[in-house]
Structure 1
Amino acid sequence: MKALLINGSPRAKGCTYTALTELAKTLESQGIETEIVHVGHKEVRGCIACRKCHETGKCVFDDIVNELAPKLVQADAFVIGAPVYFASPAGGAISFMDRLFFSTLNIDKTMKVGAAVVTCRRGGNTATFDVLNKYFSMNNMPIATSQYWNMVHGGSAEEVLEDKEGLQTMRTLGKNMAFLMRSIQWGKENVGLPEREPVTFTSFHH
């Protein structure tokens, strides 16, 4: 089983990476193949709602978003990690998530496990956490939880390593994710996925 972890921080080895690394180590100890991909340092422009992806199956801006879409197809779990910028996820992480999830509406994400990991020096973690979980909750993706909200505190990687509760939260998240992934795999094989109705869109015009 595979888990794709996204580092949405501009810093390659900062707080977000440190949290994701603790999570990745736990996932791997549970037999889950894990990959961390750094996207927060790239020039990922925002979605312009051109809807070309609905015709072509990929984003019109051919960058890391299109590169990672096939990995999302193969993944059994997807994690977005992001630092807090003004009580919201870093802009690059938001642009990446908007475009990845909008351009992959043709990819059925039903029962792929989703998780958000957030980091901050002091505040804004819960607001950021809420924003990132919205991507999963409208795509039939079960959201993995931990013993506390999936967050660590610290102004540097070194400080995050001192956040013993935060690191434990990451390890618990990893164990819960692995259990959920295996349970869903068993459910697919023995029960089958839930029956899906054709999607209905309701638009109100005044």
Structure 2
Amino acid sequence: MKVIAINGSPRKNGNTAHLLRAVLSELETEGIETELIHIGGKPIHGCIACMKCWENQDRKCIIDTDIVNECIAKMAEADAIIIGSSTYFTDVTAETKAFIDRAGFVGLANGGLYTRKAGAAVVAVRRAGAVHAYDTINHLFGISSMVTVGSSYWNLGIGLAPGEVEEDTEGMETMKNLGQNMAWLLKKIHSGE
């Protein structure tokens, strides 16, 4: 079993990364392979609505100048997908939104690349607006016929300076529970129960 985590924060080692690593640590403890991919802060082109993904059906976006196609291939092979973003004006980062639009469209155009995979949103926030960002990510999972994994609270952590989220005891516990819940679900799916 493998879980892919996408970090959409422009800060490679910022609070979003801390939260994602906490989730991945729990999964690794359960013997599940993980990979963290950093897309934030890199040039990611938005969807141009060219419909080539529907025409070509080659599991790729026609835009091949960034990391998106590499991520789509990894997402298609993974058992679960976690997308993390910091909160910008009550939503995901621009890179995360461009990624969701393109990866989501390619997934739909190619017969549902992510169907029945587990998905979880993880959001870092300074103070408020995280629930909207959380919803934005979860909308991708819903339209992609995925199973959304929750925790003991919304999957978010509070912090401003890089690493400050580690002081959010409830947020870090939420990430731990999220990792445990995802591991449980993946094991149930793979056991055939």
Bin for the TM-score computed over the shorter chain: over 0.9
Identify the residue that residue 101 of structure 2 maps to in structure 1: 98
2:165 to 136, 160, 168: 160
Cα separation, 2, equivalents of 1:50 and 1:132: 23
Question: What amino acid is the match of 1:137?
Answer: G
Root-mean-square deviation (CA, aligned residues, Å) is: 1.1
Structure 2 residue runs of 5 or longer lacking an equivalent are: none
Confirm or deny that 1:77 pairs with 2:80. yes
| Structure 2: distance between partners of 1:160 and 1:124 | 16
Q: Deviations over 1:106-157 (max 9, x none)?
A: 1432210000000111000111111110000111100000000000000023
User: What's 1:201 paired with?
Assistant: none
Which structure's CA Rg is the greater one? 1
Q: Which residue of 2 aligns with 1:45?
A: 45
d(CA) in 2 for partners of 1:73, 1:25 = 22
C-alpha distance in structure 2 between counterparts of 1:44 and 1:142, whole Å: 26
What is the aligned residue count?
A: 188
Equivalent-residue separation in structure 1 for 2:72 and 2:125 (angstroms)? 28
Equivalent position of 2:153 in the other structure: 148
SS at match of 2:163: helix
Partner Cα distance (2:87, 2:29) in 1: 29
Letter in 1 for 2:168: D
Scaled by the length of structure 1, what TM-score is found? 0.88
Alignment partner, residue 61 of structure 2: 59
- Which residue identity lines up with residue 75 of structure 1 in the other structure? A
